[in-house]
Amino acid sequence: MIIEQPPRLFRAFFPCTTWRIKKEKEKTVYLTFDDGPIPEVTEWVLDTLDRYNVKATFFCVGDNVRKHPDIFKKVLERGHNVGNHTYNHLRSWGTSAKRYCENVEKANQLIHSPLFRPPHGIIRPTTIFYLKKRYKIVMWDVVTRDYNKDLSPDDIFNKVKQYTRNGSIIVFHDSLKARKNIEGALQKSIEWLLNEGYSFKKIEY
Ligand SMILES: [Zn+2]
């Protein structure tokens, strides 16, 4: 499916971005969590990851970091990496590169990370041109679509099973929209990945 695993041609439209990290010889996956930090979901995700000693990467919305600095701090203290997901979960299309980059910069004042992931899965080429000078732009190899209310936790778990391969960057969301699905699918997904022999790594700065 095009949404769950973007095809090569689609990826080619976004040069200088990372979709999958293939250099590892041992089977490796990179769990990522977008849209937090929020108390209702992020803390639960942190506890779940701790239970399996799994490290991940959290792409944070700047405004959420402003509202919940204590939770943002916990993400770092528990050994995870963080990335920038704009200050207002801004859509690249319809936003000038200048305004978009200013919004990213505003988030960076709080997040201080060289990693960036565009919200809504798209980013204008002109915006990439400016952002790539300062940020490593991280896309994804597997989108679980946990935010979709028409899908069940089992659907999300099945997507992880179906699309994950060595080097996959997998997207979950620590958001209210995804809460039901992530609570039902994250633990199962981690256990399945461990059983399949995958190890978990953070996306490096
Ligand atoms: Zn997002």
Taking only the tens place, the pLDDT of each residue in 48-69 is: 999 999 999 999 999 999 999 9
Please report the pLDDT score of residue 24 as a whole number. Answer: 62
95 part of a folded domain = yes
Where residue 109 falls (left for φ over 0; alpha for ψ -120 to 50; beta otherwise) is alpha
Half-sphere CA count of 106, side-chain side, radius 13 A: 16
Band of residue 93 on the pLDDT scale cut at 50, 70, 90: confident
Who wins on pLDDT, 131 or 4? 131
Q: How confident is the model at residue 7 (pLDDT cuts 50, 70, 90)?
A: confident
Supply the mean pLDDT for the chain. 94
- Residue 136 CA to ligand 1 centre (angstroms): 17
**Mean pLDDT across 136-144:** 95
pLDDT at 1 over 80: no
> Is residue 100 assigned to a domain?
yes
Q: Does residue 205 sit within a domain?
A: no
Query: Residue 35 Cα, ligand 1 centroid: separation in angstroms?
Result: 5
The larger pLDDT score, comparing residue 25 to residue 91, is at 91
Task: Examine residue 3 and state whether it is found in any structural domain, yes or no.
Answer: no
Q: What are residue 29's DSSP bridge partners?
A: 200
Q: Which domain holds residue 173?
A: 8-200
162 CA distance to ligand 1 centroid (A)?
22
pLDDT value for 12: 79
Residue 2 maps to a domain: no
CA–centroid distance, residue 25 to ligand 1 (Å): 30
- Which tokens in the block code for residue 132? 């790539």
C-alpha count within 13 angstroms, C-beta hemisphere, residue 178: 24
Give this prediction's pTM.
0.95
Measured distance between the N- and C-terminal CA atoms of the chain, rounded to whole angstroms:
30
pLDDT at 170: 98
Question: How much distance in Å is there from the Cα of 121 to the middle of ligand 1?
Answer: 8
- Would residue 142 count as lying in a domain? yes
The CATH number linked to 100 is: 3.20.20.370
The total domain count for the chain is 1
Would you state the structure tokens that stand for residue 119, as one six-digit string?
């919200």
Please say whether the beta carbons of 38 and 71 come within 8 A. yes
- Distance between CA atoms of 175 and 194, rounded to whole angstroms? 25
Identify whether 103 is part of a domain: yes
Q: Catalytic residue positions?
A: 34, 173
The pLDDT, as a whole number, for residue 101 is: 96
Taking residues 149-178, report their average pLDDT: 97
pLDDT of residue 122: 84
pLDDT of residue 136: 95
- Farthest CA pair distance, the chain: 46
C-alpha dihedral (60, 61, 67, 69), degrees to nearest 10? 20
- Domain assignment of residue 143, yes or no: yes
Tokens encoding 114: 């060289």
